[in-house]
Chains A and B, each alone.
Chain A
Amino acid sequence: MHVDMDAFFASVEQQTLPFLRGKPIGVCGDPDGRTVIAAASYEAKRRGVKTAMTLPEAKRLCPEIILVSGDPAKYVDTSTRILAFYTTFTDLVEVFSIDEAFLDVTNTAHLFGGPETIARKIKEHLKEQFGLTCSVGIAPNKLLAKLVGEMHKPDGLTVVRQSEVAALLENLPVEELCGIGTKTAARLNSMGIKTCGELGRYSEKSLVAVFGINGTHFKHMGQGISDSPVMPYHHEPPTKSMGHSMTLDRDTKDMAVIQRHLLQLSEQVGRRLRKDSYAGRTVSLVLRYSDFSTFIKQHSLRTYIDDGHRIYQAGLKLFGELYKPPRLIRLLGISVSNLVRELKQSAMFESQRAGSLFESVDSINDKFGEFSVARAKLATRASGPRVISPSWRPAPVSR
């Protein structure tokens, strides 16, 4: 079963502020800033407003759109409570994103009257508790559940049985399948494969010749076959990297501004690493210029680090190698990968003193909130980023 909240952030804002209900709204960062639409209400979507559209574009399509500054804490809390409700039906709940989840109810559906009854109970609960709607797809596997769930939005409930799969896929364009992007679809189209039916019948050998090991996978997708299990979110594989990025208030080549943002992002990454007892040794820098051209460079260190200032130093070095002055910079991002967990401090830190300093600073920030104590350079830090990481997962739910 796939459950997708309908226009999640926008619907939450419409519930919060009743005078926004029935109106075209767009949730973004700072409505006066240079952010993009993070979510549009269905009223705005009908006017052509889409996620990731710039604010001027959205206003051009829908001049009466009401822009609302998003509140990640509100969405994270709502999502956490919704996921907890899903786990009353099954332990097998996979978080696909903050507003999408898969539930494997194969072994528990009979306890609740079947999958459709569970879907209706979820819909009733979301409506009653939060005033929100969702669209549900029920199918033999995750690939098909997501596919059919997205066919009837908003507030849909679509069921496909194994006997109906072939007919469903026969004339369906390949790009409708989750996992086949525009580039893969274009390559398939150039091979004469436009529908899932054609993909499912195509020679596996020929597909493998073009796509390698993915060729077999694509053929199975065309046949509606997927053995991907629902991965409960408390059993997901360990984190591979941690990072933050930020769109600057305005395009700039001012090194003081760039350094301050880079330090802030590095400190945020260091803080997250320490919070989850990680350290990493590969630092990656993302640089986006005002024309949206984007460059990434990374460097592996000899030691594992979780110190924001060390991350910053490595990032600054990469910046020096990557930046072509006097181009204007729009976005900066920094991440740390090659992670290890639970390294003993004695092995991790070159300086024990630094280790205990972080402990003290972290405990103060734990108690009083992020950046209550920070480097003086960050006294005038940016207020962002007010975003939710795609890798966001709730804390394990206890019942």
Chain B
Amino acid sequence: MTHTHLDEAVKVYALYKETGNHRFPHDKLRPMMFIWRNQEYRVQDVTYVWRENQGQSEVYHFTVSDGVNVFELCYNAKNLEWTIAGTYSE
């Protein structure tokens, strides 16, 4: 398994749903596509979602697959910024 740590800004197109548990809004947001290093990636599957507190910021982690690799995208709910935290491949 290869894992590359990253911490780069990324442009993400996500779907926001109004429904869901107010305490656990993990399923309200779903990344659909992202542009990283000038390349477009279409999300085929969101494999896992979890929330982490970083200081006063709530950060939502999404591991997503484009059918080849897995990427970890992070959404900071305080400053509304998306970053890519890493890539994983077999």
Q: Which residues of A contact B (CB under 8 A)?
A: 12, 15-20, 66, 68-69, 73-74, 77-78, 81, 84, 130, 365-369, 372, 397-399
Contact = CB atoms under 8 A, between A and B. Distances in A.
A192 B42 CA distance: 66
A17 B26 contact: no
Contacts of A369: 54-55
A78 B89 CA distance: 23
Contacts of B40: none
Nearest to B59: A73
Contact of B55 (A12, A16, A368, A398): A368
A113 B23 CA distance: 27
B88 A17 contact: yes
A81 B88 contact: no
Given A18-B47, A18-B70, A77 B52 contact: yes
Interface residues of B, number: 22
Given A18-B70, A68-B1, A398-B23, A367 B55 contact: yes
Nearest to A18: B47
A18 B45 contact: yes
Contacts of B50: 73-74, 77-78
Nearest to A80: B24
A96 B32 CA distance: 38
B24 A17 contact: no
A212 B48 CA distance: 50
Nearest to B51: A77
Interface string B15-48: 0000001011010000000000000000001011
Contact of B1 (A20, A84, A368): A20
A69 B3 CA distance: 10
A66 B47 contact: no
Contact of A367 (B23, B56, B61, B88): B56
Contact of A18 (B55, B61, B65): B65
A115 to B, nearest CB: 25
B23 A17 contact: no
B54 A17 contact: no
A399 B48 CA distance: 23
